[in-house]
Chain A
Amino acid sequence: MNTFIPHAIEELSIRADADEVRRVSIWLETVGLKHGVPAEHIGRLDLCLHEALANVIAHGGAVALPAPVCLHFDTHRNEGTGQAAVTISDAGMAFDPLVARSKVRPQTLAEAKPGGLGLSMMRSNADDLSYCNREGCNHLTFVVRWAESASGQVK
């Protein structure tokens, strides 16, 4: 059984507001690079985090908006594999994206209805997604992994 040893943890508290999305992205890039997460995988986390935050802002409801949104970043390395995870915690209406249905793909542009792609983008960019609702808060975690050589370089 592989045991991942915690390597680095960073946290940020933000408002549930569209004006925060750039600060979040810059924070994620900064902590990701600081802890050696390859840029490609920071980009995957950035997309997941943006879509999750957009969902909180759009669908979290009146309880979500005045409450802080907490972001937790951690990385692990073990036996040639790097892993980075971001957890977004919010006080909005309970919503489990793991059980929500992805939008049915239209066959033509005429059939297409704008919107509803955030969930499928999170699913396609994360290697793992997990969700729990604890003490009235949603906690959504997305994980990305990558292979590294013995010297720590990305393969």
Chain B
Amino acid sequence: MTISFKDVDENFRRIAITGRMDILGTDAIAMQFTALSATANRRVVVDLSAVSFLASIGIRALISNAKALQQRGGRMVLLVGDNAAVAKTLESTGIDALLPMFTDAGEADKAALA
């Protein structure tokens, strides 16, 4: 399980998560994910295209960090690329209606910055 980030500019960050977002994997990245999402007014794209497994605890982390970011005036969007399994999980739980989800990186960036 890894988490990495790249700051495109001071208000726009891309976060990439890889591996299994199960109990162990989500716990391993939880503090860093929260810290990376906590900046005021920041637009964030979370890239889940290399996540091999997304459990409810992983969705809980996405929701709580997205809410915290929104309360600070920021916005989070999700990039799933061609990861059909993760996209299906987000759709079946209705999370895609709360957090915009994109298969295309350019579209995700555009939505985050809108």
Contact = CB atoms under 8 A, between A and B. Distances in A.
Tell me what chain B mostly uses at the interface: helix, strand, loop, or mixed. helix
Contact of A112 (B20, B57, B67): B67
B53 interface: yes
A13 B83 CA distance: 32
A93 interface: no
Given A47-B55, A51-B56, A112-B63, A19 B24 contact: yes
A124 interface: yes
Interface in B10-62: 20, 22-24, 27, 53, 55-57, 59-61
B98 interface: yes
B23 A50 contact: yes
A109 B67 contact: yes
Interface residues of A, number: 28
Interface in A25-51: 25, 43, 46-47, 50-51
Interface residues on B, range: 20 to 34
23 contacts: A18-B27, A21-B22, A22-B24, A25-B53, A43-B53, A47-B53, A47-B55, A50-B23, A51-B55, A54-B23, A54-B55, A54-B56, A105-B97, A109-B70, A112-B63, A114-B67, A117-B56, A117-B59, A118-B55, A121-B89, A121-B92, A121-B93, A125-B92
Interface of B: 20, 22-24, 27, 53, 55-57, 59-61, 63-64, 66-67, 70, 85, 89, 92-94, 97-99
Q: Which 9 A/B pairs are nearest by Cβ-Cβ distance?
A: A117-B56, A114-B60, A124-B92, A114-B64, A118-B56, A105-B94, A18-B23, A109-B98, A114-B63
